[in-house]
Amino acid sequence: MTGQDEAPPSPGIHQGPGAPLPGPPQRLSPKVLLTEPIRMLPSLFLPLAGVLFVGGFSPSSFLWAALGVAGSVAYAVVRWATFTYQVAGDRLELTRALVSRSVRTIPLERVRGVDVSNPPLHRLLGIAVLKIDTGAGGEDKQEGELDGVTVAEAERLKAVLLRHARAGAQTGEGGRDPVAVPAGPYQEGVSTPVDRPQAERVLFVVPRRWLAYGPLSGAYLLTPFALAAGAVGLAFQWGNELRVDGRFLVGAGEWLWDHPVVLLVALVLLVLAMPVAGGVMYAVFNWDFTLRVREGYLVAGRGLLTRRSVSLERRRVRGFELVEGVAERWAGVARAWAVVTGLGDSQTRGQLLPVVPRSKALDVVGEAVGPTISRLRPHPPAARRRRLFRAVFPWLVIAGCAGAAGLVWSPLWWGPAAVALLLAALGVPLGLDRYRSLGHAYDGARLSVRSGSLRRSQVVIEERAVVGWKLTQTPFQRQARVLTVTAGVGAGSGGYSAFDVGEAQGVAFAAEVTPAWLAPFLLTGNSERPKPVE
């Protein structure tokens, strides 16, 4: 935590009626003293167990273990007693005075979003974790976290922080756009005052039966193997820490290797458990996923054990990303994320929809952010040749090397050669599908790029979000007369690329979106928007 000296409000900040009045310093709920020791238990378990084993479970070893637990509890009490927070005019101050006094100051005008979560124990005690996203750079993103405020206090602080952020947007504080924001996504020339009260409106609630689509995303399918590997690793770690002979575990592994039928059955059981475990994990994280609009914010809430609510300022949403895996495309489902300026951890906080039918995803995202661009411009045949080459040629090389090794050294190499040939054959439809997925478009207000096969992603962003262009061309692309056009965007991942576009097509695409930027570099010297190259 960075320490800063306390300072009076900056004279350049307008203390209008929307600014919260300074209040007395507040402490976290005392109930957090029940959660802190429990959260510290995993890190204390091995040291305490080591003390007990080394001491032979004698009274003195139990005494030292009890002193360790008491010390941890005392440390938690001191941390709670020396931490305060305060909304002071135009800023939130987080003060800690454990050894030396340090104050972290977060200007309310820089708040980009507020994340409220309720882990299971917190929900039982009626407290919550509130995180403040300021969109700042750096490893810790300059975020504030209040772990252990009451649920009512979390909602009150959330309302104060977001209300002040909107008031700052209206007065133009902090370099923001003044006075008005778009009334609807991508509706140019139509604006509404940012302080106009808006009733909460639920955009969509994911039906629970759609949680069955979860395993199609593939993100949770490896859960059984991850749990098995984690259990084995933990067993070896505990064996070393607790001085338990690890030869039993090694012997169990050797026994499984010597009995391939048992090993095969275990692997089959793990594979069969993949969709079940994946579906359960997906449901735990996305239970009752709800997307709503509240006072100029998109609010996404989800979770069964840990309930989480993330607020995204709509005026900072610059577009969306639609993602489909192979199985998801086969089933006609997709996932969606918002492209937001100044948002840390966008892959988690920017989620608009989990796996839902693609048609419904387009409807909901169209209402929340803006419509998609369905008709994309195809890329030249050279892009197809490049994708087929990269999907097939490496496996052919491996097959040739393995076949030569089989002729020279041992016939055992014929097996890998056959597998490589099979993968090369499978590379043909993969390469063709990757080519069909390529595309880009511009409709006068938004641009879109799409790529990928195993994970196909289409991004739709506003023209005003583009802050620069990067045109790159490798030696192989130069030979094929194609290039990669990357639109630099001050949101999301920072840049989105159209791969293997024709040379003239790529330049025309960039000049079509921002003609004034590229006009000095075009041979025609014409500042008008060039016609798109189909």
SS3 (DSSP) at 68: helix
Distance CA 57, CA 63 (A): 10
What is the C-alpha separation between 286 and 291, in angstroms, rounded? 12
Instruction: In whole angstroms, give the CA distance from residue 399 to residue 396.
Output: 5
In a domain, 194, yes or no: no
Helix, strand and coil percent figures for the chain, each rounded to 5: 45, 25, 30
pLDDT in tens, 210-234: 988 988 877 777 777 777 776 666 6
d(CA 527, CA 515): 6
Confidence of residue 346 (pLDDT cuts 50, 70, 90): low
Q: Over 90: is that where the pLDDT of 381 sits? A: yes
% residues pLDDT > 90 (the chain) = 36
User: What is the rounded average pLDDT of the residues 61-68?
Assistant: 71
Enter the DSSP assignment of 521: G
341 assigned to some structural domain: no
pLDDT by residue (tens digit) across 277-307? 888 888 999 999 999 998 888 999 999 988 8
Task: Give residue 235's pLDDT.
Answer: 62
The answer on 85 and 160 residing in a single domain is yes
Q: Residue 9 — very low, low, confident or very high, per pLDDT cuts 50/70/90?
A: very low
* Beta pairing class for 83-88 and 91-96: antiparallel
CA distance 470 to 462: 17
387 and 521 in a single domain? The answer is no
pLDDT digits (tens, 9 = 90+) for 312-338: 888 889 999 999 998 899 999 999 999
Asked whether the beta carbons of 26 and 84 are under 8 A apart, the reply is yes
429 against 47, higher pLDDT: 429
357-388: burial string, b at 16+ Cβ within 10 Å, e else:
ebebbbebbebbbbebbeebbebbebbbebbb
pLDDT band at 505 (very low <50, low <70, confident <90, very high): very high
- Domain-located, residue 397: yes
Place of tokens 């006009």: 519
Say if 320 falls within a structural domain.
Answer: no
pLDDT band of 182, cuts 50, 70, 90: very low
Domain tally, the chain:
4
Give the distance from CA 56 to its chain's centroid.
47
The answer to whether residue 366 is domain-embedded is: no
Residue 417 phi/psi, 5° resolution?
Answer: -65, -40
Residue 193 is assigned to a structural domain of this protein: no
pLDDT reported for residue 410 = 82
The least confident of 80-84, 202-206, 247-251, 438-442 is 247-251
Residue with tokens 């995993």: 42
Q: List, for residues 106-128, the tens digit of each pLDDT value.
A: 888 888 778 899 888 898 899 99
Residue 156 sits in the same domain as residue 223: no
Q: Do residues 125 and 165 both lie within one domain?
A: yes
Rounded CA separation 9/332 (Å):
54
Whether 215 and 172 map to the same domain: the answer is: no
| Single residue among 137, 157, 178 that ends a domain in this structure | 178
pLDDT at 138: 42
Question: Residue 113 sits in which domain range?
Answer: 32-178
Q: What is the separation of C-alpha 123 from the centre of its chain, rounded to a whole number of angstroms?
A: 24
Which of 286, 304, 329 represents a domain boundary (last residue)?
A: 286
Residues 140 and 248 occupy one common structural domain: no
